Amino acid sequence: MTSAMDTPPGVALPPPITERGGVGWAYANLFSNWYNTVLTFIFAALLGLALWFGLSWIVLEADWKVIATLGGRLIIGQYNTEFACPGQNCFWRPQASLLLVSVLLGMAWAVSGDKAARRIAIGVAAVTVAFAFLPYSMDQMGLDVRLLLAANVPAVAAGWVLARYTPLGTVRWMVILGVLFFLVILVLIGGVPGVPGLQPVSTIYWGGLMLNLLLAVTGITLSLPIGIALALGRRSSLPLVKLLCVVFIEVMRGMPLITLLFMSQVLVPLAFPQDFSTNSLFRAGIILTLFSSAYMAENIRGGLQALHPGQVEAARALGLAGWQTTLLISLPQAIRNVIPAIVGQFISLFKDTLLVYIIGMLDVVEFSRAFIQGNAEYLASARELFLFLALVFWIFTYTMSYVSRRVEVHLRVGQR
């Protein structure tokens, strides 16, 4: 029998099996003492029961036909109906917009080189291609629709090649193209008067998940710079600027979002002439952006206050101007320190887009609710439909959280 005395000198023995790998982790975290062992078995039993009954309902009892019936209307709402697009087919416009998004995702993959960007780009392409193979008849989903969905794979590849082998593969060009593509998407979806195939579509017919995403992207893109400006204004030494920023932030944070949306619907038109065109989508976008920017300002201000004052003093000793100290030293560190709070506000803004139903806009949840109430044969399938919508929103919010964690790791947040 080999003993410890027979071990050659200088050779390190591996740790015991109970201290390494999955067994070691389970022993340290689940079975470290008697009460942890009891709790592990109790929670395992409860989890097993929940999975048993949950999966049995999902697989055997639930009726998912309502989702197949709604199909693409969950994405675009009433956008492609005869009322919205009389005498024309508008379904290609949102799909063309998705192709632009896929190009951007491919470019982000090439520019960042991160696994998160690669997974998101490939995941979006894979899901859209899967939709192209849904078992619909050609009357329900034509060949043109299927080809446009499948084209997202070459669109991602085109974006990757564009960023990898052209001068466009920089963060600056990514931002410029992102803004340009967003404006093109708005033109595609909204239409242009007098252009064949791009006849205008009233915003009252914009709906579904497309509406939630447009409002969320607009709010996220604009609320961050506005919030930064408000945070800097609140810390300003100019009394009037500071007072205006404080009043704006406290008023916006002190009023419910529902109240502000109602006010935008009722009071804002009174401030403009009767022939001035203001639509619900435009007003909702402004309110969501301003509401989110007030909270964003406090997040940024907290990051600025967390910085050690010695850094500002060192910048002054080096002769840097005040704006240089703020833009080059204080602000980048403040934003880096509050990335979790910023992304949390973005997630909250995305979920707040559901509240636009109170001003008559059919977001994905309100459109689904109206469909269920208007079709009595699907009333029993309401649970399945809203469970599916909850899963969709969870996927979007978890993706944002996952990207946030990857950015924190890249920027070494929490490490000195």
Instruction: Spell out the domain ranges in the chain.
Output: 207-375
CA dihedral 242, 247, 250, 256 (to 10 degrees): -150
Return the closest-CA partner of residue 188 out of 220, 210, 158: 210
pLDDT, averaged across the chain: 86
Between 10 and 395, the more confident residue is: 395
89-97 average pLDDT score: 86
- Residue range 207-375 in CATH 1.10.3720.10: yes
Residue 339 has pLDDT above 70, yes or no: yes
Between 83 and 137, the more confident residue is: 83
Residue 7 has pLDDT above 60, yes or no: no
**Cβ–Cβ under 8 Å, residues 291 and 257:** yes
Quote the pTM value. 0.86
Per mean pLDDT, which of 86-95, 266-275, 382-391 is the most reliable?
A: 382-391
Angle at 29 between CA 23 and CA 35, to 5 degrees: 115
**Cβ–Cβ under 8 Å, residues 358 and 345:** no
**Cβ–Cβ under 8 Å, residues 393 and 351:** yes
Cα 230 from Cα 161, distance rounded (Å): 39
For the chain, the C-alpha Rg in angstroms (whole number) is: 27
Between 229 and 143, the more confident residue is: 229
Cα 215 from Cα 171, distance rounded (Å): 24
pLDDT digits (tens, 9 = 90+) for 145-172: 888 889 999 999 999 999 999 998 898 9
Per mean pLDDT, which of 78-82, 140-144, 192-196, 236-240 is the most reliable?
A: 236-240
Return the closest-CA partner of residue 69 out of 373, 381, 391: 381
Residue 77 has pLDDT above 90, yes or no: no
| Residue 1 banded pLDDT, cuts 50, 70, 90 | very low
The per-residue pLDDT for 391 is 93
| CA distances to 66, 143, 215, 387, 395 from 382, in Å | 8, 31, 26, 8, 20
